[in-house]
Structure 1
Amino acid sequence: MRILFSRVFSRISGIRRKSLFDCPQHRQSLVFGTNSHSSIDFNPKEKVDPFSLVADEISLVSNRLRSSTVAEIPELASAAGYFFREGVEGKRTCSMVLLLMAKAMDINRPESSFNCIGDSSRVQLHRKQQLIAEITEMIHVASLIHDDILDDARTRRGIASLNFAVGNKLAVLAGDFLLFRALGALASLKNTEVVSLLVTAFENLVTGETMQMSATVEQRCSMEYYMQKTYYKTASLVSNSCKAMALLSDQTPEVATLAFEYGKNLGLAYQFIDDILDFTGTSASLGKGSLSDIRQGIITAPILFAMEEFPQLKAVIEQGFDNSANIHTALEYLWKSHGIQRTKELATKHANLAAAAINSLPESSSLDVWKSRQALINLTQILTTRKK
């Protein structure tokens, strides 16, 4: 079903799918990687809480998301709004990043002025930026619903997964419903560049999931394949949405690229920590089962790094993990290796690249802009030191 939607959207947008390692954004990222700061310089006096800066806006976004799931059929409305209910709506990390990014790029904002025409334009832009956050959340949740169906998952965010609660058929329809609501909202922006970016992100989600499902043993044991799949599944949506924020506010191509770089590297760093927590976290802290990836035969960075130290681990991967003894053997190799530490270092590297992108934005004298940028930098540390 998701592959079908990907093809439909591709025809609408006319976009040809590109590999991460062939796309212009990735080539530009290599330039930033060369010139970026080697570490993040945190000053305790400059700590800014990312969530508090946009808490009111996130509340508005959450309310609109609940309204967006209203449907003619009550069962469909209930299923589509399952993860938007108060208490189970998640951390809204995507919304937080995007709303902060919008503020961080408000480069020409005057500190004190009153212009009726300018004020009206600013309100319209602000609403469009909030709509990008809503669209991104709908695509994100729809992809989680579909992923849980494919993985036959039983839990998500500490509660029953939607497929487990209502069955696969209604869960599929609920995910599809959210995607079409997102597409309708996207069309209302009447911005072809933004539409292309979000369609690309959605297609990448489908591509990444397909890569994971169809990978050969050699591909599963390849760090390059893992990085590309991880970008598609985790980082493409936030990076393209960050860039969409820049395009909506008529930023230069250079600023748009920096926004893309922040989202891409933050998304990658986030996933690397997720991969660690799958081995080190508990089911209670994760809101889903621990060791879920390896039980499904999904090979992530910690195991890939462990395999570099213990090549014999590849033979265990080839045998598969239907046998719990093979899981136990793989874990023994992992704990003897530096796999967890090297994955942490990889997450830190990309967190630093994300922070460097924010530090490279054009200067601004606005205190609000400065606070938003500092919050985005602080977020790179928060997400890479989390325990759940």
Structure 2
Amino acid sequence: MVSGIYSCQRNLAEITELIHTALLVHRGIVNLNELQSSDGPLKDMEFGNKIAILSGDFLLANACNGLALLQNTKVVELIASALMDLVQGVYHENSTSAKENHITDDIGISTWKEQTFLSHGALLAKSCQAAMKLANHDAEVQGMAFQYGKHMAMSHKIHSDLQPFMKEKASDSTTFNLNSAPVVFHQEFLGRDLWIKQIGEAQEEGKLDYDKLRETIKAGQGVTSAIDLCRYHGNKALEALESFPPSEARSALENIVFAVTRFL
């Protein structure tokens, strides 16, 4: 044990990061059907896709090998179920991605939270639970670790979704996800018909003016509601940490929560 951390727990953290990185690499695959001539030669994109697939698979293979070396069937089961959740979550995200004319599917915030937990929260939640299992803690402690990981991941995702709406005017010319938390809240408050109308009004020559749409969303209740939800999950994560004795590790975990729930 080093600094209160078992070597198997450290190995688990590395495995979790390998899986997360593999997912990011696989998500970097380019849809060749959407390429334009200005994007570069098709053969370069095809080669990049092949490298992304192979690199992601290599990382996943190493993660699986590391899991086997832990020699704990319960931990393997937890991480395997997290991988299943990830695949299911990404599938749902793709099925509700922006379609023709930049119109998203009609999903409410409750559906968004379910999908986001699968694609962004399950891995951290179950990894935290598995870390407690490796230290032979009981089911109650494992449950609290799961709750911390779940709410921490949700808070972090909402914080990331909010960034395009929190930046200063001079630097906010970037696009944003039309299925992000502030947008889903905005659509839920506004209603489907008005939301479609606003998207139509933000289009110029067939292209969506994200700056205009961003200002429309910021004028509504979507951003403030997303901030409230981010803080709610942050508070839930802090509540879960109260089950653990005071320590430097607990303080570090609390500071992570503070970092993603603090807004200027």
What TM-score results when the alignment is normalised by the length of structure 2?
Answer: 0.80
Task: Pick closer, same or farther for the CA change 1:327–1:264 going to 2, 3 Å.
Answer: same
Aligned: 1:293 with 2:177? yes
> For 2:127, which of 241, 245, 251 is the aligned residue?
241
- Which residue is 2:249 aligned to? 372
- Which residue is 2:164 aligned to? 278
Give the Å deviation of 1:317.
8.0
- Which residue is 2:25 aligned to? 145
* Amino acid in structure 1 at the alignment position of 2:160: D
Residue by residue over 1:133-181, the C-alpha shift from the partner in whole angstroms, topping out at 9 and shown as x without a partner, is 11011000000011111578xxxxxxxxxx9696101110110010011
- Which residue is 1:190 aligned to? 71
Distance 2:208 2:96 in 1: 23
Task: Pick closer, same or farther for the CA change 1:325–1:231 going to 2, 3 Å.
Answer: same
Verify the 8 A CA contact 2:154 2:233 in the aligned structure 1.
Answer: yes
Give the Å deviation of 1:223.
1.4
- Which residue is 1:201 aligned to? 82
Q: Does 1 or 2 have the higher relative contact order (CA < 8 Å, sep 6+)?
A: 1
Give the Å deviation of 1:221.
2.5
- Which residue is 1:30 aligned to? none
Greater shift in the superposed pair: 130-139 or 213-222: 213-222
Question: Cα RMSD (Å) of the superposition?
Answer: 3.3
Task: Pick closer, same or farther for the CA change 1:166–1:350 going to 2, 3 Å.
Answer: same
Residue by residue over 1:71-103, the C-alpha shift from the partner in whole angstroms, topping out at 9 and shown as x without a partner, is xxxxxxxxxxxxxxxxxxxxxxxxxxxxxxxx7
Task: Pick closer, same or farther for the CA change 1:189–1:209 going to 2, 3 Å.
Answer: same
Give the Å deviation of 1:305.
1.8
Task: Pick closer, same or farther for the CA change 1:316–1:137 going to 2, 3 Å.
Answer: farther
- Which residue is 2:13 aligned to? 133
> For 2:214, which of 320, 331, 336 is the aligned residue?
331
**Structure 2 gaps, min length 5:** 33-43, 98-102
Verify the 8 A CA contact 1:139 1:179 in the aligned structure 2.
Answer: yes
Distance 1:219 1:324 in 2: 19
- Which residue is 1:109 aligned to? none
Give the Å deviation of 1:292.
3.8
* Amino acid in structure 2 at the alignment position of 1:372: A
Distance 1:385 1:150 in 2: 34
Distance 1:382 1:276 in 2: 14
What TM-score results when the alignment is normalised by the length of structure 1?
Answer: 0.56
Distance 2:112 2:47 in 1: 32
Greater shift in the superposed pair: 301-310 or 243-252: 301-310
Q: How many residues are treated as equivalent by the alignment? A: 244
Task: Pick closer, same or farther for the CA change 1:199–1:229 going to 2, 3 Å.
Answer: same
Aligned: 1:358 with 2:262? no
Give the Å deviation of 1:338.
2.2
Structure 1 residues 1-388: aligned runs within 5 Å: 126-149=6-29, 167-215=48-96, 220-281=106-167, 290-294=174-178, 299-311=179-191, 312-316=193-197, 323-325=206-208, 327=210, 330-361=213-244, 363=245, 370-385=247-262
Task: Pick closer, same or farther for the CA change 1:186–1:335 going to 2, 3 Å.
Answer: same
Distance 2:30 2:140 in 1: 39
Task: Pick closer, same or farther for the CA change 1:211–1:316 going to 2, 3 Å.
Answer: farther
Determine what percentage of the aligned residue pairs are the same residue. Answer: 29
